[in-house]
């Protein structure tokens, strides 16, 4: 699936800053309520949401907000301290899908975005279902 020729980035295709902000606002309350995910998220939700907005903006081809403040994303390395199991990756994606539904994100932009997030979720797994680390 390719983006339309008149769209230069996935960031633009999904609706840019407004969509990313709305998605993050819909996503994080779900994550903080999810029994498998909540233990991974400590600290102020507002700061985590700010970082996620910055990361997703850059991830989708928008301005390099995350790198400008924190350096290269290196998300797998940054998440190594947290036990991310295959089940947690699935739960994270389910929360993201529900958030996309809530804000009405659909069409090709959603499909491409969700596909990329699915790849990232698999890369982030660093702990087996039994709690062991490779």
Three-state SS at 3? coil
pLDDT digits (tens, 9 = 90+) for 1-10: 555 556 589 9
Residue 42 has what pLDDT? 79
pLDDT digits (tens, 9 = 90+) for 65-82: 999 999 999 989 999 999
Q: What is the pTM of this model?
A: 0.91
CB 98 within 8 A of CB 91: no
Q: DSSP readout, 23-41?
A: HHHHHHHHHHH-TTTGGG-
Name 64's Cβ contacts closer than 8 Å, sequence gap at least 6: 58
Mean pLDDT of 91-109: 98
């Amino acid at each position: 699936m390719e983006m339309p020729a008149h769209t230069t980035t996935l960031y633009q295709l999904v609706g840019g800053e407004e969509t990313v902000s709305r998605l993050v606002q819909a996503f994080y309350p779900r994550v903080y309520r999810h029994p498998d995910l909540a233990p991974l998220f400590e600290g102020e939700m507002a700061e985590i949401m700010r970082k996620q907005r910055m990361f997703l903006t850059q991830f989708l081809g928008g301005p390099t907000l995350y790198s400008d403040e924190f350096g290269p994303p290196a998300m797998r390395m940054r998440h190594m301290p947290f036990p991310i199991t295959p089940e947690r990756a699935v739960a994270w994606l389910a929360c993201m899908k529900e958030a996309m539904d809530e804000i009405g994100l659909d069409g090709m932009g959603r499909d491409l975005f969700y596909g990329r997030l699915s790849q990232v979720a698999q890369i982030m797994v660093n702990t087996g279902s039994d709690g062991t680390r490779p």
